[in-house]
Amino acid sequence: MAKVRVGVAGYGTIGQRLADGVALQGDMELVGVADLAPTLAVQALRERGMPYNLYLAQGGDKRIFAEKGIPVTGTFEELADSVDIMLDASPGGAGAENKKIYEARGVKAVFQGGEHNSVAEVFFHGYANYERGVNKNYLKLTSCNTTGLIRSVDCLDRRYGVEKVVVTIIRRVADPGDYHRGLTNALQIDRAPSHQAVDLMTIMPHINATGILVHTPVTHGHMITVVVSGKSKITKEQALEAFREHPRIRVVSVAEGFLGNASFFKYARDLGNPRGDMYEIGLWEDSIAESGKDLIYAIYIPQESVTIPETMDAVRAACGMQTSGQEGTEKTNQYLHIGSYRQEGSHALWNSYDR
């Protein structure tokens, strides 16, 4: 069976990681990436020896790339002509414009969380509604917080049944290296309900969800506290059993040294993961508690990398590579080595990196 040909639009925070993720998939071929300007990420790509072909996004000036010695393979349209599906990680709003190019060429696309839901046929999550995306042309991913939140809620819902969810999201204000939010020493609250709770109900309409979001002046990850009301009482032991079996949830404890968001980022770096990335969400065993019928727990969201597995799932669904969520997510996990540390005693996530 021929490999599915994939292109990436936008080589920024998410686009870099999407390119790496596709390159690790044994049944996909990364044709190339596209960007508008020779950003630091693109300059780093050149210094790495151009492992990926670079195409010029619309509005880009090829001469500027040439001045920096960055080779350009072709135009954005030529990239779109050469693939089966595009992963659009361009800035919010640009994806909708790019869609016109995809439609004209009959090319499928997966859009990231920054686009409006209307850009796609299906608002997609690999575990919660994989089958809805099978053989569809245009899918849109949930945001990083929503992706991780749904993983944990879906995990409990599949096994025990969930009726209601209430979340508090402690949101990092910007990605590492970003300056556009300014230098701050304050917390900022959004109006309730948070869009993550609304998005969860869009993906899982049988669950009632609401929540509050607080912006915090940090960069390494979000934290979410979750209150779950089950169809029947879910005990801490039951929840812990389910969470520990989920490939994309890493259960940790304070006693191990996981004191907060920075602990996860440092651990991922100590593992040797490029950029300090981690595909799993973190879930503190110590945070799981019962309150009457309800259950509470806290999760960590590595915002730069958490959506990459679900994006690989989306490619599999849209291109009909696997038609069931179980098969699709298992294939993605296999190629990204997600959960392999449980069997191998080591974290083999990136042992095929830059192959």
Distance CA 158, CA 19 (A): 31
Residue 4 structure tokens: 């599915």
Q: What angle do CA 258, 332, 325 make, to 5 degrees?
A: 105
Crossing angle for the helix pair 144-160 and 195-203, to the nearest 10 degrees? 50
Cβ neighbourhood burial of 270 (10 Å; 0-12, 13-18, 19+): exposed
Q: How far apart are the first and last CA of the chain?
A: 21
Catalytic hit among 30, 31, 122, 144: 144
Q: Residue 5 forms beta bridges with which residues?
A: 29
- Could you list the pLDDT tens digit for every one of the 355 residues in the chain? 799 999 999 999 999 999 999 999 999 999 999 999 999 999 999 999 999 999 999 888 999 999 999 999 999 999 999 999 999 999 878 899 999 999 999 999 999 878 888 999 999 999 999 999 999 999 999 999 999 999 999 999 999 999 999 999 988 776 666 666 666 678 888 999 999 999 999 999 999 999 999 888 877 788 999 999 999 999 999 999 999 999 999 999 999 999 998 899 999 999 999 998 999 999 999 999 999 999 999 999 998 899 999 999 999 999 999 999 999 999 999 999 998 777 654 444 334 333 2
- State the DSSP code for 51: -
What pLDDT, on the 0 to 100 scale, is given for residue 354? 36
Residue 33 structure tokens: 């990436």
What pLDDT, on the 0 to 100 scale, is given for residue 185? 74
Could you tell me which residues are annotated as the binding site? 35
Asked about 319 being catalytic, the answer comes back as no
What pLDDT, on the 0 to 100 scale, is given for residue 183? 61
Domains of the chain: 4-142+307-344 (3.40.50.720), 144-301 (3.30.360.10)
Distance CA 346, CA 274 (A): 16
With b for 16 or more beta-carbon neighbours within 10 A and e for fewer, the 35-67 pattern comes to: bbebeebbeebeeeeeebbbbbbeebeeeebee
What pLDDT, on the 0 to 100 scale, is given for residue 179? 62
Q: How far apart, in Å, are the Cα atoms of 134 and each of 37, 122, 201?
A: 34, 10, 20
Crossing angle for the helix pair 13-23 and 308-318, to the nearest 10 degrees? 60
Total length of the chain: 355
Could you tell me which residues are annotated as the binding site for NAD(+)? 35
